Structure 1
């Protein structure tokens, strides 16, 4: 029954435009937007990295946003295998999730949304996660901690 529910959930967790091939496996963060899965490098879709010198508030300390984003992405990838579905007509851009265990309730953790909600990256203008970025701004998380 659990396997059936996970298969059904997988069919609905990716946005409509993510209709390309899938890749799955253990991932390692290259930077705050890129994941290495085996020999493949996947770019998280619809996020933008902050400037190379942008500073964020992460774990209560001021730190470089790109470094904090990579560390947070790598920590999320430790939950288990990452599942990515490529965006149509894109060779490397994909929507990626890991399955997080929250009190034995398995739920997809959208890696792009996680980074945006923490204020470590920006949502692209056409992203479905613009509200998450607004929330990070209002709550002064990540790069938005230093904005007036």
Structure 2
């Protein structure tokens, strides 16, 4: 009888899903898909993003899409704690995790801003975020770019040097990219900064109290001005 009960317990525990390892704390962006957190290097699951040294094309000229991706990730994680659930490791044995803070699913927000590319196995809401970025021509979708995996294959030297920096101390550039705390604009419905396209096609954001705020129909909503600017919007002049 004892053997039967023990066997039953073994079956129950074997069938139970393994809990993802959780890690929480302040984080620093190292590139558009990689953070350093409490001394641990973590890559965002379900997305790829331009390497820190990668460049793309926009308006017929080269632009530092890798740096912009890094700065956007820094703006998204901000200075508040981030909660990451480690779900595996990548080919370099770096932990892969889904990460969230009080405002964002971090990986999904990178995709929504057009500076992250959703993987084939990403959750369905990542596909919706991709559609928003493509429709509004955010980030990479505003120009021409080489997929990050292809760029890495043709620029292995740059990728290897970055990887060594990640596993040692965080680069000074990444530390500088981490933003200071800033004013947050919220209301009963959540974030309160309204972003939309003007009649001339400009991407403008409006703060509560500004002249055109109440009459603006938002196409995007942000909590901070840094988030709005990172998504390509500029502040309304009045």
Please indicate, yes or no, whether the TM-score normalized by the shorter chain is above 0.5.
yes
Which protein shows a greater Rg? Answer: 2
| From 42, 53, 56, the counterpart of 2:55 | 53
- Structure 1 pair 41–53 and aligned structure 2 pair: CA distance change class (3 A): same
CA shift digits 1:45-83 (9 cap, x unpaired): 0101247222469xxxx8422211111111222240010
Structure 2 unaligned segments of length 5 or more: list them.
1-16, 145-238
Question: Which of 129, 132, 136 is 2:129 aligned to?
Answer: 132
RMSD of aligned C-alpha atoms?
Answer: 2.4
Deviation for aligned residue 1:120: 0.7
- What are structure 1's unaligned runs of at least 5 residues? 1-16, 101-108
Q: Higher RCO, 1 or 2 (CA under 8 Å, sep at least 6)?
A: 1
Runs of 4+ residues over 4 Å off in structure 1: none
2:177 matched residue in structure 1: none
**Normalised TM-score (structure 1):** 0.71
> Which structure 2 residues correspond to residues 1-148 of structure 1 after superposition, within 5 A?
19-50=19-50, 52-55=54-57, 63-87=63-87, 89-90=88-89, 92-100=95-103, 109-128=104-123, 129-146=126-143
SS in structure 1 of the partner of residue 128 of structure 2? helix
Aligned residues: 118
Question: Which structure features the higher share of strand residues?
Answer: 1
TM-score in terms of structure 2 length? 0.45
Q: Return the alpha-carbon distance in structure 2 between the equivalents of residues 73 and 92 of structure 1.
A: 17
Shift in alpha-carbon separation, 1:78–1:50, aligned structure 2, 3 A: closer
